[in-house]
Amino acid sequence: MKLYYLPGACSFAVHVTLNEVGAEFAAEKIDNATKTTESGADFRKINPLGYVPALELDDGEVLIEAPAILQHLADGNPDAGLAPANGTIERTRLQQYLNFTASEFHKAFVPFFSGVELTESDRAAAEAKVAVRLDYIESLLADGRPYLLGDTFTVADTYTYTVATWTGPTGIGLAKWPNLQAYVERISTRPSVRKAMIAEGLVEG
């Protein structure tokens, strides 16, 4: 398999999951400005939409969209315990959290990464939108659960964690959301996360 990624982007969730399941894979960085891969290929020929993640399977099939890829990896590696069984209420909750992160939490950060400098009022509006999503996750974790579905780390956590870390470079921080801050710190200690951070050049090995 080959993962096409941008350091620290939503593809990081897939990178962590590949590490969690012990997959053998290559990882190739994308230049987001030119839409080329590290090896010089046209990324749009791999994913016509031009964004990460994209996961090329061993048979040549290419999967895109983080929630779909994450569930594919979890279902293909059931011993890793990264997703409840299909047809259960727990699996529906997993899909609920993945969809929330993709459609609400992730998208709320778009203004910060658009390449356009935000005015003071635009930044305030964008921060307020992110804060509503952070409030929601904070409320989920308020009952003391270590992960979104309870005691078990799942692919929903890989994605939510990844997006939550964007509060760092955007300057929003997590000081106002202590449960979420502890959640991020807890997941950061997982070997799969540390390994992905080193591989993507986010921290030194």
pLDDT in tens, 176-196: 999 999 999 999 999 999 999
83 vs 75: CA distance, rounded Å: 7
- Domain 2-80+192-199: CATH superfamily, name plus number: Glutaredoxin (3.40.30.10)
Which pLDDT does position 205 carry in this prediction?
A: 77
Which tokens go with 100? 């929330």
Q: In degrees rounded to 5, what are phi and psi of residue 36?
A: -120, 155
- The 8-class DSSP code of residue 177 comes to -
What CATH topology corresponds to 89-190? Answer: Glutathione S-transferase Yfyf (Class Pi); Chain A, domain 2 (1.20.1050)
**pLDDT single digits (tens) 44-63:** 999 999 999 999 999 999 99
Q: What is the pLDDT of residue 128?
A: 98
The pLDDT value given to residue 64: 98
CA distance to 117, 123, 130, 183, per residue, from 120 (Å): 10, 5, 15, 30
Planar angle of CA 93, 19, 156, nearest 5 degrees: 15
Phi first, then psi: give them for residue 184, nearest 5 degrees: -65, -45
Bridge partners, residue 62, by sequence = 56
Contact 181, 174 (CB under 8 A): yes
- Write down the pLDDT at residue 85: 97
pLDDT, averaged per 10 consecutive residues of the chain (205 residues), comes to 98 98 98 96 97 97 98 98 98 98 98 93 98 98 98 98 98 98 98 98 91
d(CA 195, CA 22): 12
Contact of 71 with 77, CB cutoff 8 Å: no
Catalogue the long-range contacts made by 173-177 (C-beta closer than 8 Å, 24 or more residues apart): 174/134, 176/131, 176/134, 177/134, 177/135, 177/137, 177/138
Write out the E strands in 41-103. Answer: 54-56, 62-64
pLDDT given for residue 86 in this prediction? 97
Quick one: tokens of 140? 């989920």
pLDDT at 109: 98
CATH topology of 2-80+192-199 equal to that of 89-190? Answer: no
Domain ranges of the chain: 2-80+192-199, 89-190
CB distance 159 to 101 below 8 Å: yes
